[in-house]
Structure 1
């Protein structure tokens, strides 16, 4: 299994988890509550509308009329660890939102910390490497909805980007994820959604931790011509101000340090700035 994870993270920069232990009921309930939230009146959602990228509960919306390259999505961002500190700030309409989304958040975080043990071991590190830091670290859920679009539309759900996290778990109601395949003329490859499967994506901070052994993947979201799409990205990171840097075990004369230390707080500052370079490029030495 470790070799499979290593090959996937190094060559495909993501892998999928099928038998993850999160029940179909928990998944369906979370997606259902999120769908109901997005379908609720805008007056209810605007309570959480904000441009502050560090706000622990934040709603945002961007709708396009069909221009190529434009983005069309609504999202809700939720801080989720420790969940008891944040869940009281989450939406309470629909009334089952906190219970259903909170249960999924707790279970995907538990799964994520266990899988990170296998990921660090596949790097040649201890399976408990960073475990304590991750258990105390940030867990941010970002749920998105993308409206149904015309088959000829060139609207994007999300533009090309890499994730800031150490690791990301993606749940989808239907297909829409595309990744950049740099081995095939930089072509975009559609990744089909398999019911209840979680996609595991390498984040920028894992690229830093592994000193470039694993690369964060450029990916984007595309709307469906058949139906609206809901996705839930679970970002696992260290605490806001805690730094991540290349593991000393992975730095030597043949493999000099390729990245400087950074933190989640620095990423948010980058996001708020006018810096045009991708975040990961700003970290390279």
Structure 2
């Protein structure tokens, strides 16, 4: 697994170019990497996971106000069950997080430290996301500031998940195989459970350990489109743990809701024709509501 020391992006030009090349290789070959020395403090990450865990542990009658199947809602709680049985396989809460002052007032206020701790994490991880995107753009041979203004005005969503402890004999997935419709997703997790599909090894599933102090960076569908397929969005899933429950926070960075994303013209030529049609996050949300069988990224391919 590739680990990027974010502080090295601020060293001399040679060091930065080496790190950018490493990011290029990781994005092209694996679709993900992890970062360390990223500037999001241990206190901020621990407090965010702690408040999220306390929220999920509340009795359901204290959370029902947020329950919804409407994928357009800016604050939405959803529960998933095993084969429609009584046992919950996953709880999810999605929170719009930018501009944070527009949304944080509608976030849960129980536990009382939820908005403070999740808000601090959202601000810090968004800053990190923009920094990482500068390096990713550079790794594509584009300026580090390429589409920066769009990213700065873009959607930022925080997605919290709780995967209850599973029975030792269970082989039920906590979250089925999928790609994220983001530019990138940055993942914070309490314990291991993430698995990545390795296209270099006959699409075998590989466990990705949760390493203390690191954050995972996953390539999303819109970066696949923007790169004209040079970088592939990574298929991933989550396995449940028989020893304890798992809590995770996904930070999803996207372009503005209605902005159309298409392959960068600098990456399109006779040898590399345009491979994806333009699409927006708004279109993706409509696609989700349609319950189509085909994956969204497949529907974008020309």
CA separation of 1:66/1:273 partners in 2, compared to 1, >3 Å: closer, same or farther?
A: closer
Post-superposition Cα deviations, 1:180-222, rounded to whole Å, max 9, x if no partner, equal 1122222111000001311000000000000000000111011
Measure how far apart 1:65 and its partner are. 7.2
| Residues in 2 aligned to 1:161 and 1:65: alpha-carbon distance in whole angstroms | 19
SS at match of 2:182: coil
Match of 1:24 in 2: 42
**Can you give the 5+ residue segments of structure 2 that lack an aligned partner in the other structure?**
1-18
| Residues in 2 aligned to 1:194 and 1:209: alpha-carbon distance in whole angstroms | 30
Matched, 1:264 2:285: no
SS at match of 1:149: coil
Measure how far apart 1:152 and its partner are. 2.0
**Contact 2:79 2:88 (C-alpha < 8 Å) held by counterparts:** no
Measure how far apart 1:266 and its partner are. 0.7
**Contact 2:88 2:164 (C-alpha < 8 Å) held by counterparts:** no
| Residues in 2 aligned to 1:232 and 1:152: alpha-carbon distance in whole angstroms | 27
Match of 2:230 in 1: 213
RMSD: 1.4
The counterpart of 2:94, out of the listed 48, 55, 77, is 77
Matched, 1:33 2:51: yes
Match of 2:133 in 1: 116
Match of 1:169 in 2: 186
Measure how far apart 1:170 and its partner are. 0.4
Match of 2:259 in 1: 242
**Contact 1:30 1:104 (C-alpha < 8 Å) held by counterparts:** yes
Match of 1:42 in 2: 60
| Residues in 2 aligned to 1:177 and 1:75: alpha-carbon distance in whole angstroms | 16
CA separation of 1:90/1:22 partners in 2, compared to 1, >3 Å: closer, same or farther?
A: same
SS at match of 1:243: coil
SS at match of 2:173: coil
**Contact 1:73 1:146 (C-alpha < 8 Å) held by counterparts:** yes
SS at match of 1:244: coil
| Residues in 2 aligned to 1:31 and 1:274: alpha-carbon distance in whole angstroms | 31
| Residues in 1 aligned to 2:195 and 2:207: alpha-carbon distance in whole angstroms | 4
Match of 2:108 in 1: 91
**Contact 1:166 1:206 (C-alpha < 8 Å) held by counterparts:** yes
Match of 1:56 in 2: 74
Matched, 1:224 2:232: no
Match of 2:33 in 1: 15
Question: Comparing 267-276 with 96-105, which one deviates more in the overlay?
Answer: 267-276
Measure how far apart 1:62 and its partner are. 1.2
Count of aligned residue pairs for this structure pair: 283
Match of 2:16 in 1: none
Match of 1:189 in 2: 206
| Residues in 2 aligned to 1:23 and 1:49: alpha-carbon distance in whole angstroms | 31
| Residues in 2 aligned to 1:174 and 1:118: alpha-carbon distance in whole angstroms | 28
